[in-house]
Amino acid sequence: MEKRCKKAAVTGIVCVLVYFLSVTVFLVTKAGPALTLWELMTVAGAAVMLVSLSLISDAYGISPLYRRFLTISLSGTLIITSSAHFTSIGVVRPLAERGEAIPEYFKIGTFPSLEMTLDYTAWGFFMGAAFIIMFMGIKDKGLRIISLVCGLLCLIGFTGSFFNENLWYAAPFGYGFGFIAMCIYVMKKGASTDISR
């Protein structure tokens, strides 16, 4: 279990770094293929986090009840963000490229819009809930603190986005940098003690 947990942590770190790289490439180039990469990495990131957080929580002894709630929350993130980004890639952007007049409230990257609200719900509400569930379901003090901070940042970003879009940026610190901190913690903890107990 410890070996799989460490692999999950390494995969999680790599995925988040590639995600942030894809964001940077799009912001610099503003190119369509870069936006597609960013959107695909968002969906891939949700899948990787589902697997990584499941393995990490199992290694740290999460109870079956909390494990079920964690799976539901992480699945919610994956399903909702996939719906938003695949709709953008497969419907909205191709129609816009053909010259169709697409209302702003259907576009990814503009707020308020249906797709951004779905994405904020996925990564703010459902991912925040997943981290809070981890906080409640495991016993390791360090991992509980990281989980709580990540969860609160995601939920603050989600709730804050309804008042001021700039408040959303608390959430990427939770599911991005906070998740990296969690993975680093798991790798270091696994090197010095048996985390499967």
Q: What tens digit of pLDDT does each residue of 152-195 get?
A: 999 999 999 999 989 999 999 999 999 999 999 999 886 444 44
Token pair, residue 62, equals 């999460």
Residue 115: domain span: 2-192
Q: How many domains does the chain have?
A: 1
Quote the CA–CA distance of 31 and 22 in Å, as a whole number. 11
Does a structural domain hold residue 26?
yes
Other beta carbons less than 10 A from residue 57's beta carbon: 24
Does a structural domain hold residue 167?
yes
Quote the CA–CA distance of 12 and 32 in Å, as a whole number. 26
Quote the CA–CA distance of 179 and 189 in Å, as a whole number. 15
Packing angle of the helix pair 32-59, 64-87 (nearest 10 deg): 180
Does a structural domain hold residue 185?
yes
**3-state secondary structure (DSSP) of residue 108:** coil
Share above pLDDT 90 across residues of the chain, in percent, rounded to a whole number: 78
Does a structural domain hold residue 175?
yes
Quote the radius of gyration of the chain (alpha carbons, Å). 17
Instruction: Estimate to the nearest angstrom the gap between the alpha carbon of 94 and the chain centroid.
Output: 26
Length of the chain measured in residues: 197
Type of residue numbered 103 = P
| Look-up of token digits 């894809």 | 22
Q: pTM value?
A: 0.91
Contact 57, 134 (CB under 8 A): yes
Could you read off the pLDDT of 100-149 as tens digits, one per residue? Answer: 988 888 887 777 889 999 999 999 999 999 999 999 999 999 999 999 99
Contact 2, 194 (CB under 8 A): yes
Does a structural domain hold residue 184?
yes
Share above pLDDT 70 across residues of the chain, in percent, rounded to a whole number: 95
Token pair, residue 23, equals 């964001």
Does a structural domain hold residue 197?
no
